[in-house]
Amino acid sequence: MRVDATDRAIETITEMGRRRTGTLTVTIGTGCCESTAPFLYEDFWPGPDQEPVGEVAGVTVYAPEYLRVRYPGGDGVTLDVVEELGESLSVETELGCRLILRGPDFDSTGAAETCAATPGPAVLRPVVGRLPDALRRARMR
């Protein structure tokens, strides 16, 4: 499995390396709601089936076996960044952005930020509100 990154993803990971004192890792495929979303964690212990699949800005990228086997040989994904936020423990959200994956021949740039709700109209997915200051400063380990 090959992992590439856009310049924006490299800049974001580099900036978080300046802001954080622990060891950063990117993990793909460990989310409970977004099962293949990439997450940038500080001091994360990879699971037993996760193996390094690349490096971005000096940060090791891990992926579990179920995902690695779907990208044989030189097939892979590209880490990118979007300004759309969702609920996440990924540390780059401090910058008001989040990591995403892009595949070959797919680019969602310019796509409507909506979810189709059935029945009924599309529902916008903005993040509303903000964490209390005490939680914004909390470090998760």
Residue 119: inside a domain: yes
Task: Give me the number of domains the chain comprises.
Answer: 1
Q: Given this model, what pLDDT does residue 72 score?
A: 82
- Domain of residue 8: give its range: 2-136
Residue 110: phi and psi, rounded to 5, are: 85, -5
Residue 37: inside a domain: yes
Q: Given this model, what pLDDT does residue 136 score?
A: 63
| E runs forming strands in 2-140 | 2-5, 24-28, 38-42, 50-56, 59-64, 76-82, 98-102, 114-115, 123-124
Residue 83: inside a domain: yes
Q: Given this model, what pLDDT does residue 37 score?
A: 82
Q: Given this model, what pLDDT does residue 109 score?
A: 56
Low-confidence ranges of the chain (pLDDT < 50): 114-118, 122-128
Q: Look at residues 97, 94, 99 and name the one whose alpha carbon lies nearest to residue 83.
A: 97
Residue 141: inside a domain: no
Residue 127: inside a domain: yes
Any idea what the CATH number is for the domain that residue 33 is in?
A: 2.60.300.12
Q: Given this model, what pLDDT does residue 107 score?
A: 54
